[in-house]
């Protein structure tokens, strides 16, 4: 027959008590060894990434002149934008605005009559440049071609 249930409980209690005593003994051994200083806890890393307990040797520091440090971004060369070719898709003469469709990309650009020749009309082939505005890209410097 199997042993009584209290036998297993007693064995477990004995094991727990033995662990407590062992833990207490280790704690007393650590305390008897004396307090460890902060210097004993410091670890240094050498130039090869290895841990050592000795501080690295002092090396002579090289002087860096502030004038030799470049902090600015070099100026970008101004590239003149190539004029785009397009066709006037829509033009409202009474309101003074219209749209030009770029031949290469198919994008449509808004334009105002102030940046176009006076005799512009729908269907005209034009050469133009673009500029960014609050509402998107606008066609400017519009020249009618034949």
pLDDT value of residue 101: 96
Here the tokens at position 115 are: 């940046």
Global pTM value:
0.46
Name which of 15-19, 36-40, 101-105 the model is least confident about. 36-40
Residue 37 pLDDT > 60: yes
Residue 118 pLDDT > 60: yes
Q: How confident is the model at residue 56 (pLDDT cuts 50, 70, 90)?
A: confident
pLDDT value of residue 3: 53
- Any residues with CB less than 8 A from the CB of 142 and at least 6 apart, and which? 100, 111, 115, 116, 117, 120, 126, 127, 128
DSSP string, 19-76: HHHHHHHHHHHHHHT-PPPHHHH--EE-TTS-EESSPPPP-PPPP--GGG---SPPPP
Q: What is the mean pLDDT of residues 11-40?
A: 87
Residue 26 pLDDT > 70: yes
């Amino acid at each position: 027959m199997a042993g009584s249930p209290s036998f297993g409980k007693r064995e477990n209690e004995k094991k727990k008590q033995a662990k407590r005593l062992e833990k207490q003994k280790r704690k007393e051994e650590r305390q008897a060894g004396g307090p460890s200083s902060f210097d004993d806890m410091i670890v240094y890393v050498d130039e090869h990434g290895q841990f050592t307990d000795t501080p690295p040797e002092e090396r002579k520091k090289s002087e860096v002149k502030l004038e030799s440090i470049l902090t600015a971004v070099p100026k970008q060369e101004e590239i003149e934008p190539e004029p785009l070719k397009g066709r006037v898709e829509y033009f409202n003469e009474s309101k003074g605005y219209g749209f030009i469709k770029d031949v290469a990309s198919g994008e449509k650009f808004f334009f105002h009559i102030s940046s176009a020749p006076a005799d512009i009309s729908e269907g005209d082939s034009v050469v133009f440049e673009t500029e960014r505005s609050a509402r998107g890209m606008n066609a400017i410097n519009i020249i009618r071609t034949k």
